[in-house]
Amino acid sequence: MARATAVSTAKPGKENPFEIVQRQIDRCAEILNLDPQVTNMLKHPLRELHMSLPVRMDDGSIKVFQGFRILYNDARGVGKGGIRFHPAETADTVRALAAWMTWKCSLLDLPLGGAKGGVICNPKEMSTAELERLSRAYVRGAYTFIGPDKDVPAPDVYTNPQIMAWMADEYSMIAGKIQFGVITGKPLSIGGSPGRGDATARGGMYTIREAAQAMGMNLRDCTVAVQGYGNAGYHAARLCQALFGSKVIAVCDSKGGVYCETGIDAQKAFDCKKETGSVCNLDTGERISNTDILALDVDILIPAAIENVITERNASQVKARIIAELANGPTTPEADEILYANGVHVIPDFLCNAGGVTVSYFEMVQNAYSYYWDEAEVYEKLDKRMTSAYHSVLNTSHQYNINMRQAAYVLAVKRVVEAMKIRGWV
């Protein structure tokens, strides 16, 4: 079985997300007393695709974009993972995200492996036509790597249902038949699932609810800060208000944010971002930075932006009782130790944000037999899966006397290793 050799692409001076993944695996291997050969297999992706994607721009020029698709581990089933369009994308970022997808699918007990994709680009500077040409070029480049029975992509940062629709259409045209099941996160009109739009945030809300109950916290009395105001961050703020009656007192995006002690309306913040480009232009409260928000005196902190924002340098400044990680990899292993020692309850990323892949799995099931559930049924099934996974992690944390992330790793990795052994890989 061929295995990709991971060559670091991290930028100097920045935390390498894939090295963080490998340190997390090493720690998990110690707890589980894994064979070093098994541990080494877990620390590397199964295969990688690096692509040069020439795209004709609106001015007639041809620009070559770099793209990736990485299948990390498919011992438990076909690959699953989103595609990011981001100017700071690297192969190591995609490797890390693919690894986290592997553990995420395993933790939720989904019959899927982990994968991830990305393109180095700035979609904010591209027209709709250019984005469509790039999306179709990506599928042409990755066609032999992806498929309903191989690896099923989905939306991620700066990609959306429309981009998924273009990709599904391109794949179908190459295949010569309708293959909408190659992609999830599609519009409802071509096989998308009800409930997919806010699934990541809604799944996170179910874990926050269970955590608050376990800690004796009344969510109606809780204050919330949300770092990152994309799809996940906006829906998190909205659902905190709608489901719990919590007070969202701070929100931010890449350009800055706003703090308002009396509360911020989630919808108004979203409308402001849509109209002006940033929530920091809200006509209420006071301006704060997207790093200062992490140290606010709130009950619940929701990092919903990018990796490595809570590190050993600022973890001791966190005052929140609960950190609900809707972003992938927002906390470094060193920060985890500090937070755990300080009594901060971290709901780790690949548990907290697993609502998206869970509803994507539901979409795959619905596509397979061409019968679709209503939104209420999707939410009911999602709630059941997220609640069960949360309590499994919490119980494992208590059993081993380890933090929540380590407990999530123990559960997820054990399942992946079991599948690898049963299949004869090790």
Q: What is the DSSP string of 219-282?
A: GGG-EEEEE--SHHHHHHHHHIIIII--EEEEEEETTEEEE-TT---HHHHHHHHHHHS-GGG-
For residue 63, name the pLDDT band (cuts at 50, 70, 90).
very high
Using an 8 Å Cβ cutoff, are 22 and 65 in contact? no
Predicted pLDDT of residue 290: 85
* DSSP-assigned beta bridge partners for residue 301: 225, 323
Predicted pLDDT of residue 251: 94
Write the pLDDT tens digit of every residue in 182-202. Answer: 999 999 999 999 998 899 999
Average pLDDT over residues 164-169: 97
Write the pLDDT tens digit of every residue in 88-129. Answer: 999 999 999 999 999 999 999 999 999 999 999 999 999 999
**C-alpha span between 15 and 172 (Å, rounded):** 39
Using an 8 Å Cβ cutoff, are 158 and 138 in contact? no
Q: Is 116 a catalytic residue?
A: yes
Q: In what order do the strands lie in the sheet with 247-253?
A: 286-288, 256-259, 247-253, 223-227, 300-303, 322-324, 345-347
Per the model's pLDDT, the better-predicted residue between 14 and 89 turns out to be 89
Domain boundaries, the chain: 17-186, 199-352
Predicted pLDDT of residue 165: 97
Per the model's pLDDT, the better-predicted residue between 4 and 44 turns out to be 44
For residue 20, name the pLDDT band (cuts at 50, 70, 90).
confident
Write the pLDDT tens digit of every residue in 363-410. Answer: 999 999 999 999 999 999 999 999 999 999 999 999 999 999 999 999
Average pLDDT over residues 2-6: 45
Whether residue 12 is predicted with pLDDT greater than 90 in this model: the reply is no
Whether residue 2 is predicted with pLDDT greater than 80 in this model: the reply is no
Per the model's pLDDT, the better-predicted residue between 143 and 12 turns out to be 143
Q: Which CATH class is domain 17-186?
A: alpha beta
Same fold yes or no, 17-186 and 199-352: yes
Per the model's pLDDT, the better-predicted residue between 257 and 13 turns out to be 257
Q: Which of 80, 70, 101 is nearest to 3 (CA)?
A: 70
* CATH of span 199-352: 3.40.50.720
Residue located via tokens 């929530």: 279
Amino acid at 387: T
Write the pLDDT tens digit of every residue in 224-271. Answer: 999 999 889 999 999 999 999 999 999 999 889 999 999 999 999 999
Torsion angles phi and psi, residue 345, rounded to 5: -90, 110
Predicted pLDDT of residue 15: 75
For residue 14, name the pLDDT band (cuts at 50, 70, 90).
low
Predicted pLDDT of residue 308: 80
pTM above threshold 0.95: no
CA-to-CA dists, residue 223 to 232, 241, 287, 326, angstroms? 18, 10, 18, 17
Using an 8 Å Cβ cutoff, are 15 and 335 in contact? no
Write the pLDDT tens digit of every residue in 279-310. Answer: 899 888 899 998 899 999 999 999 998 778 89
What percentage of the chain carries pLDDT values higher than 90?
Answer: 86
Amino acid at 260: C
Whether residue 175 is predicted with pLDDT greater than 50 in this model: the reply is yes
Exactly one of 14, 43, 104, 116 is catalytic; which is it?
116
